[in-house]
Chains A and B, each alone.
Chain A
């Protein structure tokens, strides 16, 4: 396997499109085995079937392989990024690169979720840029749509074919990609409850709490909905002179919220803001990370001089987090 990608200190992000178990192993096995031989921490976050293939092929070396069933290694993109970072923080060794085989799950996802995961795949190039991690993302062409397979070559700068690396000609700058992809967040219907614009963060929070209670949320779920809106609003209001307007309405299974800010001069929300979990030192994006983590989805949309954050919070009829 060529080592030119493996010797750098920053993040290396490759895709691997495979159509059979043999094709999967042709890339995955040398990647994993070489890492283990070099004493690097190696994680395989893929399907249980692929984990089994790898273990069988590795023989004794399989004991040293870290594995995670990929569907549970971060249910949503923000959790996925946190899971990568947690693994890195737990296993990092000074001066040593680590390897991750990270296969996203695409089956059964809604169009909105597919867009979010594509956006995250692209965003990893920015979010993890400083990490000494070599990541290969396998895409099973027997299972994913042609559209998803094509996106892999837009969101990864290099594609692996067996042990050979090919630059992806259609690789796109992550910020440009994020701006272009996916449906914009829902806009509020005329019947939505409305408040603001205001600079008063606690007024926004209390309004959100009141509307969430009207929607039937109670106890922990009500408190988490209040927390998510408060942190998202707090993030937007941190810019000098900022004011936000809040719209809330019910959709099946969720409470939809829209936070609108006419951006003060120079203030804008980067597309990948709030994807990195809080570290020891405080960061202005910490609150947005929490809002993303507590929401079913959080989308950032720049509309000229205005930022729109769309949040979906688990509603009364969401039985999953009851």
Chain B
């Protein structure tokens, strides 16, 4: 199985900086939409030029790309800022990816964006759809290697998207290894003490840091954001340093509400003392609650 993040350092899409070369291994259209939306908005904020390398079946124009991002507040105005390169331009006449030619094209685009006064060239690539055989994998790996070498001068940043549902696991492992970082959506909560990130496979949240009386509101809102998920929800807790009784109660209330819709909430990576407290109170019998494996200190 390919792990979406593996041993790579995670970066939130809003934290991408010039020089970053990160992969997105996804198997949820919702995750891709949120991430791509964050990527485009981040480019607007940072005054970057955006280049979208579309693969087979990818968006052919601005409108199609913005539709794919499902902006809740309506699509931003990207006119003049966004260039979309279709699959016929990524590859040779025979439909094969030409790494060197593509790199040349990116270099020219980077030069152009700099001359136009943009901070950097922000590349989103969806080239996994071009993979048909082992030779394609080899070419794509060559392209990724060239791209990685290109980033030493901080003139570009790139997110390479690979759909776990469409790519061969062995090829994905190799492609993922070509990226020093993996990108994920921006946190729902980010304070000095608490970070909560939406996760997608399976759907849920990853909670990191400390939850106390001062952050119950944040946790409640984060839980609310996955309240409409159809199906079970997983809360990944292995990086929770402290979770008070009030915070635990919020999780139990959430599980009960999910149980009313015949869905479960799984808590994974709980520290043993939290498991013990949950059991002490009898909350281990909360309807809808599933307690996954505990996490060592």
Instruction: Name A's B-contacting residues (CB within 8 A).
Output: 86, 201-202, 205, 218-220, 223-224, 226-227, 230-231, 234, 237-238, 277-278, 282, 286-287, 290, 293-294
B271 within 8 A of A: yes
CA distance A202 to B193 in the complex (A): 10
Contact status A278-B249, CB under 8 Å: yes
Chain A positions within 8 Å of B193 at CB level: 202
Chain A positions within 8 Å of B282 at CB level: 86, 277
Find residues 176-230 in chain B having any chain A CB closer than 8 Å to their own CB. Answer: 193, 210, 212-214
Chain B positions within 8 Å of A287 at CB level: 244-246
Contact status A218-B281, CB under 8 Å: no
Least distance between A255 CB and chain B CB atoms (Å):
16
Chain B interfacial residues counted at CB < 8 A: 19
Find residues 257-297 in chain B having any chain A CB closer than 8 Å to their own CB. Answer: 271-273, 276-277, 280-282, 297
Chain B binding surface SS class = helix
Contact status A282-B242, CB under 8 Å: no
Contact status B297-A223, CB under 8 Å: yes
CA distance A230 to B242 in the complex (A): 10
Least distance between A144 CB and chain B CB atoms (Å):
30
Number of interchain pairs (Cβ within 8 Å)? 59
Chain A positions within 8 Å of B214 at CB level: 201-202
Beyond A277-B282, A290-B280, 8 additional contacts (C-beta under 8 Å) are A220-B271, A224-B273, A227-B244, A227-B273, A234-B213, A277-B281, A278-B281, A282-B246
Least distance between B241 CB and chain A CB atoms (Å):
9
CA distance A200 to B245 in the complex (A): 17
Contact status B273-A223, CB under 8 Å: yes
Between A and B, 9 residue pairs with Cβ closer than 8 Å are A201-B212, A202-B214, A218-B297, A224-B276, A227-B273, A234-B213, A234-B246, A278-B245, A290-B277
Chain A binding surface SS class = helix
Contact status B212-A202, CB under 8 Å: yes
Find residues 221-256 in chain B having any chain A CB closer than 8 Å to their own CB. Answer: 242, 244-246, 249
Given contacts A202-B212, A230-B212, contact A220 B276 (CB under 8 A): yes
Which 9 A-B pairs have CB atoms at the shortest separation, nearest pair first? Answer: A223-B273, A219-B297, A220-B273, A220-B272, A224-B273, A287-B245, A290-B245, A278-B281, A202-B212
Least distance between B162 CB and chain A CB atoms (Å):
39
Least distance between A243 CB and chain B CB atoms (Å):
15
Chain A positions within 8 Å of B246 at CB level: 234, 282, 286-287
Residue of A nearest to B296 (CB): A219
Given contacts A201-B213, A202-B214, A282-B246, contact A227 B297 (CB under 8 A): no
CA distance A188 to B249 in the complex (A): 33
Chain B positions within 8 Å of A282 at CB level: 246, 249
Q: B245, B246, B280: which has the most chain A beta carbons within 10 Å?
A: B245
CA distance A219 to B294 in the complex (A): 13
Chain A positions within 8 Å of B273 at CB level: 220, 223-224, 227
- Selected from A220, A230, A278, A293, the residue in CB contact (under 8 A) with B244 is A230
Contact status A231-B245, CB under 8 Å: yes
Chain A positions within 8 Å of B213 at CB level: 201, 234, 237-238
Contact status B272-A293, CB under 8 Å: no
Chain B positions within 8 Å of A234 at CB level: 212-213, 244, 246
Q: A277, A278, A286: which has the most chain B beta carbons within 10 Å?
A: A278
Chain B positions within 8 Å of A224 at CB level: 273, 276
Contact status A205-B249, CB under 8 Å: no
Least distance between A76 CB and chain B CB atoms (Å):
13
CA distance A319 to B214 in the complex (A): 35
Residue of B nearest to A293 (CB): B280
Chain B positions within 8 Å of A237 at CB level: 213
Residue of A nearest to B243 (CB): A227
Residue of A nearest to B271 (CB): A223
CA distance A231 to B245 in the complex (A): 8
CA distance A301 to B140 in the complex (A): 72
Contact status B297-A205, CB under 8 Å: no
CA distance A278 to B242 in the complex (A): 19
Contact status A205-B245, CB under 8 Å: no
Contact status A226-B297, CB under 8 Å: no
CA distance A227 to B278 in the complex (A): 13
- Selected from A205, A219, A290, A294, the residue in CB contact (under 8 A) with B212 is A205
Least distance between B286 CB and chain A CB atoms (Å):
10
Chain A positions within 8 Å of B210 at CB level: 202
Chain A positions within 8 Å of B277 at CB level: 227, 290, 294
Least distance between B34 CB and chain A CB atoms (Å):
31
Chain A positions within 8 Å of B297 at CB level: 218-220, 223
Chain A positions within 8 Å of B244 at CB level: 227, 230-231, 234, 287
CA distance A220 to B274 in the complex (A): 9
Chain B positions within 8 Å of A230 at CB level: 212, 242, 244
Chain B positions within 8 Å of A278 at CB level: 245, 249, 281
Least distance between B207 CB and chain A CB atoms (Å):
16
CA distance A218 to B213 in the complex (A): 24
Least distance between A79 CB and chain B CB atoms (Å):
9
Least distance between A145 CB and chain B CB atoms (Å):
32
